[in-house]
Amino acid sequence: MKVIICGAGQVGFGIAERLSAENNDVTVIDNSPELVQRITDSLDVQGVVGHGSHPEVLQRAGAEDSDMLIAVTFADEINMVACQVAHSIFDIPTKIARVRAQSYLAPVWRDLFSRDNLPIDVIISPEVAVGDMVLRRLAQPGAFETISFVNDQVSVVGVTCEEDCPIVHTPLRQLTELFPDLLAVVVGIMRDGTMFVPHGNDQMLVGDEVYFAASRDQVDRTLGIFGHDEKQARRIIIAGGGNIGFYVARQLEAQQSRTRVKIIEGNRQRAEKIADELKHTVILNGSALDQELLREAGAHEAETFVSLTNDDQVNILACVMAKKEGCARALSLLSNNAYASIVRSLGIDAHISPKAMTISTILQHVRRGSVRRVHAVQNSAAEIIDAEALETSPLVGKPLRDAELPAGLRLGAIVRGDEVIIPNGDTEVKAHDRVVIFALAEHVREVEHMFRVSLEYF
């Protein structure tokens, strides 16, 4: 596949890194010569210096025979115009744009991005996606990651094995015997920086970051089995009243009337604006790094502190200070993945990466076959893929033990209508089943082949 990426920032770099590693023909456009030089020195991609919305720049990037354009510059307007030029002049089949300003996405303007107006096939709104992820983390405080699939019928949940985890050192095959009616299965383990798909004789160790797939109504029970039965927070402090913080607070007001939310916002004008729009949320104007303000906000009795400013260092320090004041749990927004490896050692319970969310959204439109959704985990060390099994799939019509699945894949759940099936060796996949599968990065192509639409993908 020939792909043009407009924007060589962190998100553009991450997308280019993933697509080039899969042997796609990738060209990156940016108006910064330094960023273009950095990305071409680091990755097997081509670089073009210029504005991604200019026709001659797109032409130099090979737009005339490209399959996809992904516009993720910092400016919404450049992203939108790039897609328009890609459509009107070069007839690029698939156009994806990051649009951050919520005013463009209001329901009243739903026809704005139609083929007859601004022809963008996929709109990525990181603020909404990240806000929804924050809400899922708040709903399941014992997990460091929660992703929903197949109309929320299946969840894949990341949980850390602590010292008091009652099932460490237990072979996974014994868990089935201990909990025969549990609709959940361990699909991946991150241990000492290495991700692997476990087998029946493998055991979980203290410090492992474990991913399990479960029916939605079995998630809380499964978390309890891992020793994580933390209650949903009722007292929450949010640092940052920007688009994400405001979205989270507004959703909490709408969904959970018993939750008491306070927002710390540094910009006085913004603080006044969101105070006018939020009915039950307390707004405090000041810095989240002000210890006295944290005390005034009640950090010592808060159950969860969520830092959602646009500064990673502020988010990390604010979380550390809130935990020091006595807050039970801290969640940080992190745009720079370089910080991800240290946040746990600082006492921060979980973090959310807008970059990872954006890359996951784009991957589901890059993946071939009948893939419906993709979510990358652990800096793209693995992917969780939701796909529909078609008649042509080699999985259909045979017991899974005869399917010769590679060692780096694990089927987590099969959804057949309203029924969630946790598969075993005797399970047979049927045509039109939705399959949630955990795959190490090097085996993703094999998943595409399994769910191919036709033989052309061999």
Q: Please give the order of strands across the beta sheet that includes 209-215.
A: 145-149, 154-160, 209-215, 184-191, 194-196
The average pLDDT across 374-389 equals: 90
pLDDT at 422: 94
Rounding to the nearest 10 degrees, give the CA dihedral for residues 427, 421, 435, 224.
Answer: -130
Higher pLDDT, 393 or 436: 436
39/235 Cα distance (integer angstroms): 43
Residue 71, SS3?
A: strand
Distance linking the first and last C-alpha atoms of the chain? 14
Q: Give the pTM.
A: 0.81
Same CATH topology for 2-124 and 357-457: the answer is: no
Q: Which two tokens stand for residue 326?
A: 């006595």
The correct answer on CATH 2.40.70.10 for the domain covering 357-457 is no
234/399 Cα distance (integer angstroms): 46
pLDDT at 102: 77
In terms of CATH architecture, what is 235-328? 3-Layer(aba) Sandwich (3.40)
Most confident range (mean pLDDT) of 79-88, 139-148, 394-403 is 79-88
pLDDT at 257: 67
pLDDT in tens, 292-342: 999 999 999 999 999 999 999 999 999 999 999 999 999 999 988 788 878
316/8 Cα distance (integer angstroms): 25
pLDDT in tens, 384-405: 999 999 888 888 888 998 888 8
Say whether pLDDT at 250 is over 90: yes
2-124: CATH superfamily: NAD(P)-binding Rossmann-like Domain (3.40.50.720)
pLDDT at 231: 84
Q: Provide CB contacts within 8 A for 454, sequence distance 6+.
A: 392
Bridge-partner residues for 374, per DSSP? 385
Q: Which two tokens stand for residue 155?
A: 């969840």
pLDDT in tens, 9-25: 988 998 999 899 888 99
371/447 Cα distance (integer angstroms): 9
Q: Which two tokens stand for residue 424?
A: 């075993």
Q: DSSP character for 258?
A: T
Domain ranges of the chain: 2-124, 235-328, 357-457
Higher pLDDT, 458 or 174: 174
The average pLDDT across 211-217 equals: 95
Counted residue by residue, the chain has a size of 458
Q: Residues 284, 286, 287, 290: is their CA dihedral positive or negative?
A: negative
Q: Provide CB contacts within 8 A for 294, sequence distance 6+.
A: 237, 264, 288, 318, 321, 322, 325
Please report which confidence band the pLDDT of residue 458 belongs to, taking 50, 70 and 90 as the band edges: very low
Only one residue has tokens 């329901």, namely 107
Please report which confidence band the pLDDT of residue 184 belongs to, taking 50, 70 and 90 as the band edges: very high
Query: 344 to each of 144, 308, 335, 391, how far by Cα in Å?
Result: 11, 17, 16, 45
Say whether pLDDT at 456 is over 70: no
Q: Which two tokens stand for residue 89?
A: 């002049």
pLDDT in tens, 94-109: 999 999 887 787 777 7
pLDDT at 455: 43
127/354 Cα distance (integer angstroms): 8
Q: In 179-311, which residue ranges form alpha helices assigned H by DSSP? A: 219-225, 243-255, 268-277, 291-297
Q: Give one DSSP letter per residue of 377-431, joined into a string.
A: ETTTTEEEEEEEPPTT-TTBTSBGGGS---TTEEEEEEEETTEEE---TT-BB-T
What does the mean pLDDT of the chain come to? 90
Say whether pLDDT at 368 is over 80: no
